[in-house]
Chains A and B, each alone.
Chain A
Amino acid sequence: MTEERNQSDARADALVSQAYRDLAGERTPEHLDRTILRAAAKEARPRYSRFIAWTRPMAWAATVMLSVALVLEVANTPSPGIVSFDKTISTFEVQSAEADAKDDGPVDSLEESVVPASELTKKQSNDMRQKATAVAEQEIAPQQPAAAFSAPVTDCDEDAVATPQTWLECIVALEDAGRDDAAREQRTMLAEAFPDFDPR
């Protein structure tokens, strides 16, 4: 009952309704139809296409930038092979000798072959240098900081220490160059290696 009353309330008078139907014949202009349907189709397009449009170039740019940064980093990294080993060797000899002097017990691997510098003959000294050089190349040199590059070429090389005379000449050259500490160290090593040689 109430529903019927509602329906009758909602519907306008039949005569008025019919008259209005006769009157209302306007249609939507076609240009509006086209505009709205075009807008609806545009809105319904997948949105990820716009997303991809900027992510792809960005991914490429990021890849290129990372590659360039990596290449520059590698190019600027100093080569670990360019190191002066002379000082390293002498330091290694002293440390090995001190360690051997303190510990008379059995030692392992490299330390086993190292003997105090005072007992080294010329040949032993050369062998020692070769071994120490190999070890330094493997273990010490790659971990050397960049400061190793700036360290001056020191002391006397293999040829210089071949005979006591040439070694002494090298020491004198070091003293002339003002490197008294290095000269003093070389003198000590000379005295230990050739105790019978009189450097004066």
Chain B
Amino acid sequence: MSLTATVTARRTSATIKVRQNISQMSPGEIDRFRAALTTMLGRRDDRGFQFFAGWHGVPFGICQHHVPLFLPWHRGYLYHFELALQDIDPAVTLPWWDWLTEPGVPAAYGDETVGGKPNVLFSMPIEPFGVAPDPDWPTQTSRDPGSSEPGQPAPIPPPLNGFEPEPDTNCEAWVTTAPSYTELTRRLEALHDNVHGWCGGTMRDISWAAYDPLFWAHHAMVDRLWRIWQHTHPGAGPPDALIDACMTFAKPPGMSPRSLSKVQDLGYEYAGFVSVAGGTD
């Protein structure tokens, strides 16, 4: 007896894709991103927007904050989400929001309508995957940027580079010159938490934040700053005890910080242009 199997080659691409600043993307590129996200929103299975948004808070609740796995867990989260988008449109990548230099929410996310239709980047329905909704749960994402009571402690508004965490040091330099991974995490998570708080509304609550499309651009910026820091601190990463920890995601593969350390191994980059010339040898 013999068994015969036919193996179909998987469609693959070895091209490294570049994540772009949302405010520097062309209208056509933003339209393609919106179209992919709209298709993803329409998928009611484990390829859909509601499924992935639910990993962070309701209903899966597996995100990592104020622990050394904060950065690698969210890098893995974005990796899964971006692949789901690229299943729809292989040319699409996750854009990032430069809250260090851009004042406020980028226009692509802040405009309520586009071409007379609701802007999918402005607001999304909240329909947690696989669970019966509680009457008290929000049903639509919202934002309330910069809202706070006058005279009370409040988050710092973007652009965050307008704030000096140390004398003559803006936030970008503060993060990218962090002397260790532990210190990088502390500084970067401080900026991250501040932006979540400043956005208000859905973004302010861990349980619901990932349902806001802006969440993904915010975290791409966090991931980008980590990538820049890695370039000047090669080999530096989470503590040895955690470098091979298997982190939980709601869909395979589970990944370790080590497996997520090089963005090129994950198929993307933030450096959109690299020019190399030969040396003296």
- Decide if A and B are genuine partners: no
A: which residues have CB within 8 A of B? none
